[in-house]
Amino acid sequence: MVQKHAKQDVTVSVGERFPLTIRRLGVNGHGIGYFKHKVCFVPGALPGEIVVAEVTRIMPRFLEAKIYRLRRASKHRVTPRDPYADVAGGFELENLAYPEQLKFKRQVVLDSLSKFKPYGYHNYDVRPTIAAPAQYGYRNKAQFQVRMVDGHVAAGLYKPDSHNLVDMQECAVQMPQTMHVIRTMVKLIEELNIPVYDEEHNSGIIKTLVVRESWTTGELQLTIITNTPKLIHKHQLLAAIKELLPEVVSVMQNVNPGDTPLVWGDQTIHLAGAETITESLMGLDFKLSARSFLQLNPAQTEVLYEEAAKALELAPDDTLIDAYAGIGTIGLSLAARVKNVRGMEIIPEAVADANENARLNGITNAHYEVGKAEEILPKWQNEGLSFDALVVDPPRAGLDDNLIKAILKTKPRKFAYVSCGMASLARNLRRLTSVYHVDYIQPIDMMPQTARCEAVVKLSLRK
């Protein structure tokens, strides 16, 4: 394949090799260099390095390449613990010394602000990234696809931009027990000859294994995500799990039929043990059902929530709205500091968990409802609810447009934005800064060895 891009006059073919100086890291952690003024992304390459790049993909606006040879290594390059660091997602920065990872994540915030240019962004106080206490063994959940690879059952993650599965025997960023359960399940599925999902023919049963471990109790929950409600050899499988994995106290099945990009389906079936496990954060106990969202790094989650509390500057008479509430972890952890907490979430099981978690911890001033924040908030206002403080923790896509409209209309005095997507954060700030001033942005490293960044933004009403 040869492609000539008229504007930049670059003629190059897949497989072609050339020296390339890596100038910086992109938002996904890939090295960026310029071949005849055309952007070239090189996974695994670090700033300051000189590589011989081999072109793997040609696009109108950019090239993708791999490292054929490393001519000059960065002084910040380290040896990854995981053998998959160059072949699967989730390990993008494992070859970069940790202090440099922290600098990179702050830079991601700055780059996103420069791209979307919210009002006054040049003067924002973007603080140094808060380091994670543990850079390995921190992930409390493994969510691994299950497929046949070379005639055997395999479980792991896909190679980037593909559905080619990497069978992961170990994973240094996972809590060790999650990997023990995954590898035991792979062995059992093969021994019992339970069909695994075949994407090409939309056949087979087991699609995904999800294992969650409680940081404080050590309890483990296993969810088997299947293509069909029928799970053949179910009784033999459950008996083997009970014998070989006694630490698994909850076994669930989630049914997600057909070829879909979504991991989870709507139907969840209780197979064995308890329906939930318990995690403790900020001195509170939280019951976690299979589909409950919880941050992947529980130790750093407490730091994140304290930063949110700091940004809100809560007072005993405040009413706090907890939008995108999940199982209520943020709102409930702050309930003792305010008069009332009201929250909303679109997943019914999560709302049930949130209200149950309030009851479990003897919290009587918090209530959660099922629905979209942009719909529930106006409804509550029409019912006469007034509130002083708002905390939002949206998915990577950011705040819904209608919720932004509602925020700009109601103008809560105290506002903390917890973000896991720096681009969507910067884009949302373009609109929010018509009413709010950005006091500061505090990046927090929730996922060491990855390019993922989290941040807490303190906003105050413009005077």
Q: How far is CA 116 from CA 61, 167, 191, 422, 459, in A?
A: 20, 39, 53, 10, 18
Tokens of 168: 């992961």
Phi and psi, residue 211, nearest 5° = -125, 125
Burial class of 220 by CB neighbour count within 10 A (0 to 12, 13 to 18, 19+): buried
Query: CA 156 to CA 138: how far, in whole Å?
Result: 17
Is 40 catalytic? The answer is no
Contacts of 191 (CB under 8 A, 6+ apart): none
Instruction: State the first-to-last Cα distance of the chain, in angstroms, to the nearest integer.
Output: 59
330 near 305, Cβ under 8 Å?
A: yes
Of 40, 171, 420, 453, the active-site residue reads 420
**DSSP letters spanning 73-116:** --TTB---SSTTTTTSTT-TTTTB-HHHHHHHHHHHHHHHHHHH
Query: CA 95 to CA 77: how far, in whole Å?
Result: 6
Q: How far is CA 252 from CA 58, 159, 352, in A?
A: 44, 27, 17
Bridge-based pairing state of the strands 10-13 and 2-5: antiparallel
278 near 349, Cβ under 8 Å?
A: no
Contacts of 88 (CB under 8 A, 6+ apart): 156, 157, 158, 159, 160, 166, 168
Burial class of 455 by CB neighbour count within 10 A (0 to 12, 13 to 18, 19+): buried
| Number of neighbours of residue 19 by Cβ within 10 angstroms | 13
Query: CA 190 to CA 185: how far, in whole Å?
Result: 8
| Number of neighbours of residue 67 by Cβ within 10 angstroms | 19
Query: CA 197 to CA 260: how far, in whole Å?
Result: 12
253 strand-pairing partners = 224, 269
Sign of CA pseudo-dihedral 89, 94, 96, 99 = positive
Nearest 10 degrees: Cα torsion 337, 342, 347, 351 = 70
Residues tagged active-site: 420
